[in-house]
Structure 1
Amino acid sequence: MKFTKATNYALHTMLTLVTASPAKPIGVQQLAESQGVSPTYLSKILTKLVKAEMIESISGAHGGYRLSQKKDDITFLDIIHAIEGTASLFECNFVHGDECSIQAVMTEAEGKMQSHLRNTKLADLVQKQP
């Protein structure tokens, strides 16, 4: 199982925005340079985060991006769903009737992972940093 690079960049971008002052939006160029990614690629990721209403885009010379939610409300799972979608990681391709025992194990494992990601907030990381 592997998340895309877009999710990696989204998580790091959101961590940057969580630690930033809400009064001063951060430009895409600065966000991109801090991660060593092209501004064009990061813009596509930022668009998904705006669409998910996690951040907002501020126009103008002093524009950029900032959180649109309280930082204590943003979970890892929210960010992953904004980038990856909400489809299940595993789907059985065989017809077993009502219940596939393999699908049941995979669904349970995914549920546990989602629970952990839902209960882990970006603000938790900020509190752990020195």
Structure 2
Amino acid sequence: MKFTKATNYALHTMLALIDNSPVKPIGVQQLAEIQGVSPTYLSKILTRLVKAGMIESVSGVNGGYRLSRKKDDITFLDIIQAIEGNASLFECNFVHGEECLIQAVMKEAEEKMESHLKNTKLTDMVQKKT
């Protein structure tokens, strides 16, 4: 199983915003430089995070991005789903009538992973850094 690079950048971006919260907004250029990614690519990721209601865009000379939710409420799962969506990781391609036994195992594993990601907040990572 592998998440896209966009998810990697989104998680790191959110960590930077949480670490900086509630100080002034951080510009896309600065966020991109921190991660070594193009500002254009990061802008697309930031747009998804804005649409998911986790961050907001602030216009003006001192503009940029900042959290729009309480930092203690943001989980790994929130960010991953904002970027990847919430479709199941495994879909059985065979018609078995009853639920596929393989599908059942995969679904259970996915539920456990989602539970872990839902219960892990980015603020936990900030606390580990200090």
| TM range, smaller chain | over 0.9
Return the offset for 1:21.
3.3
* CA RMSD, Structure 1 to Structure 2 (Å): 0.6
Hey, what's the Cα distance between the residues in 2 that align with 1:35 and 1:76? 18
2:86 counterpart of 1:89: no
Contact 2:7–2:83 (CA under 8 A) maintained in structure 1: yes
Residue number in structure 1 paired with 2:11: 11
Residue number in structure 2 paired with 1:113: 113
Hey, what's the Cα distance between the residues in 2 that align with 1:108 and 1:64? 40
Matching of residues 71-82 of structure 1 within 5 Å: 71-82=71-82
Residue number in structure 1 paired with 2:54: 54
TM-score of the two chains, using structure 2 as the length reference: 0.98
Q: Percent identity?
A: 82
Residue number in structure 1 paired with 2:99: 99
Could you list the per-position Cα deviations for residues 91-128 of structure 1 after superposition, in whole angstroms to 9, with x for gaps in the alignment? 00000012100000000000000000000000011111
The amino acid across from 2:119 in the alignment is N
Residue number in structure 1 paired with 2:36: 36
Q: Which runs of 5+ in 2 are unaligned?
A: none
Q: Which runs of 5+ in 1 are unaligned?
A: none
Return the offset for 1:23.
3.5
Hey, what's the Cα distance between the residues in 2 that align with 1:125 and 1:64? 23
Hey, what's the Cα distance between the residues in 2 that align with 1:3 and 1:129? 24
Runs of 4+ that moved beyond 6 A: none
Return the offset for 1:77.
0.2
Could you list the per-position Cα deviations for residues 53-105 of structure 1 after superposition, in whole angstroms to 9, with x for gaps in the alignment? 00000001100000000000000000000000000000000000121000000
Number of residue-to-residue matches in the alignment: 130
TM-score of the two chains, using structure 1 as the length reference: 0.98
Hey, what's the Cα distance between the residues in 2 that align with 1:77 and 1:21? 20
Hey, what's the Cα distance between the residues in 2 that align with 1:70 and 1:21? 10
| SS of aligned partner of 2:103 | helix
The amino acid across from 1:50 in the alignment is V
